[in-house]
């Protein structure tokens, strides 16, 4: 193919001058002349009528000019289509998420991702933080979203949003009926908590240790919904993410306990193996996270 020569020929016809053509294409003037000569040899025809005043296209030169424009347009389109094909977001993406994220934050992200990339097959795997870290490490998922911490050296950890947590109980609980509470009011209570390996459980135990709280008992339930249903029976208190309790608080079934001067926040992070960073589908999901939560992907 004589793509460079055809581009030179088109430019020469449109510029109308050998010197200006060379300057525009950043090549030498002899190279311009050589390109034209090679085309004339290839098509066995004279393309230009030269004179002291310049040149004009021959009839066959006129034909080649229009066809060359078409050829280069087709070539450019084909190249773009091939690039798009290689970089298209398609195939599958498996996202692991700890329970709070997977049940209350990830669904909206999945819908946005599916609408943006309809050819992408999505799968969500939900477990506790410990399980998601293990899945990422073993490459069973492409990327993970966790609410807890990990010290795994083989995994990259990047924060993407802040989460607010609240002490919560049934709206009929005696503590919920008070206008304000000190942290000591939470002593000697039944705590409803998530299972071992859960980021929410880890955070609750951190708060209990830090504040020196005493508990009458712990009731362990391995789902946020199970905890909420238990709380709504009127017994026990818990510590849950605002996203988990938003609907029940709005409906009046649960209440945020008015513990004064206690703002409890934690960080949600995405985790992945370094070899997954260049995967196009993972990049697409990380771009969505950046768009929604405004955090850098670095």
Q: Tell me which of 17-21, 114-118, 143-147, 293-297 is least confident.
A: 293-297
- What local confidence, expressed as pLDDT, does residue 89 receive? 77
- What local confidence, expressed as pLDDT, does residue 296 receive? 46
- The DSSP letter of residue 37 is H
pLDDT in tens, 39-71: 999 999 999 998 888 899 999 999 999 999 888
- What local confidence, expressed as pLDDT, does residue 266 receive? 92
Residue 64 CB partners (closer than 8 Å, separation 6+):
9, 39, 43, 47
Burial-class residue 256 by CB neighbours within 10 Å (0-12, 13-18, 19+). Answer: middle
Confidence of residue 298 (pLDDT cuts 50, 70, 90): very low
CB 213 within 8 A of CB 188: no
- What local confidence, expressed as pLDDT, does residue 297 receive? 45
Confidence of residue 91 (pLDDT cuts 50, 70, 90): confident
pLDDT in tens, 24-42: 999 999 999 999 999 999 9
Q: Which range, 86-90, 148-152, 229-233, is most confident?
A: 229-233
Confidence of residue 86 (pLDDT cuts 50, 70, 90): low
Chain centre to alpha carbon of residue 273:
15
CB 201 within 8 A of CB 238: no
- What local confidence, expressed as pLDDT, does residue 280 receive? 85
Burial-class residue 137 by CB neighbours within 10 Å (0-12, 13-18, 19+). Answer: middle
Burial-class residue 112 by CB neighbours within 10 Å (0-12, 13-18, 19+). Answer: middle
* Residue-wise DSSP of 2-28: -HHHHHHHHHHHHH--HHHHHHHHTS-
The radius of gyration computed from the CA coordinates of the chain, to the nearest angstrom, equals: 33
pTM of the entire structure? 0.67
Q: Give strand ranges (E) for the chain.
A: 48-51, 54-57, 91-98, 120-127, 143-146, 156-170, 189-193, 215-220, 237-241, 254-256, 264-272
Residue 224 CB partners (closer than 8 Å, separation 6+):
99, 100, 103, 104, 194, 200, 240, 244
Q: Tell me which of 47-51, 81-85, 256-260 is least confident.
A: 81-85
pLDDT in tens, 164-196: 999 999 999 999 999 999 999 999 999 999 999
């Amino acid at each position: 193919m004589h793509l460079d020569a055809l581009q030179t020929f088109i430019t020469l016809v449109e510029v109308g001058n050998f010197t200006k053509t060379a300057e525009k294409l950043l090549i030498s003037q002899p190279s311009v002349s050589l390109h034209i000569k090679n085309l004339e040899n290839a098509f066995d025809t004279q393309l230009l009528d030269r004179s002291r005043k310049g040149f004009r296209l021959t009839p066959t030169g006129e034909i080649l000019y229009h066809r060359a424009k078409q050829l280069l347009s087709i070539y450019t389109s084909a190249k773009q289509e091939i690039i798009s094909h290689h970089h298209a977001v398609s195939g599958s993406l498996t996202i692991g998420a700890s329970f709070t994220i997977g049940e209350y934050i990830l669904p909206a992200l999945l819908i946005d991702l599916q609408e943006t990339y309809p050819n992408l097959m999505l799968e969500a795997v939900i477990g506790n933080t410990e399980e998601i870290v293990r899945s990422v490490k073993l490459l069973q998922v492409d990327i993970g979203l966790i609410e807890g911490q990990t010290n795994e050296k083989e995994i990259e950890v990047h924060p993407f949003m802040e989460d607010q947590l609240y002490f919560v109980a049934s709206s009929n609980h005696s503590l919920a009926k008070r206008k304000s509470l000190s942290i000591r009011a939470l002593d000697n209570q039944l705590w409803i908590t998530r299972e071992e390996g859960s980021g929410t459980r880890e955070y609750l135990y951190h708060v209990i240790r830090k504040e020196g709280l005493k508990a009458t008992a712990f009731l362990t339930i391995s789902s946020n919904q199970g905890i909420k249903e238990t709380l709504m029976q009127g017994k026990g208190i818990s510590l849950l993410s605002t996203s988990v309790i938003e609907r029940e608080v709005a409906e009046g079934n649960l209440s945020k306990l008015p513990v004064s001067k206690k703002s409890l926040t934690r960080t949600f992070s995405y985790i992945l193996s370094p070899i997954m960073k260049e995967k196009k589908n993972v990049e697409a999901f990380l771009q969505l996270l950046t768009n929604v939560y405004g955090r850098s992907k670095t």
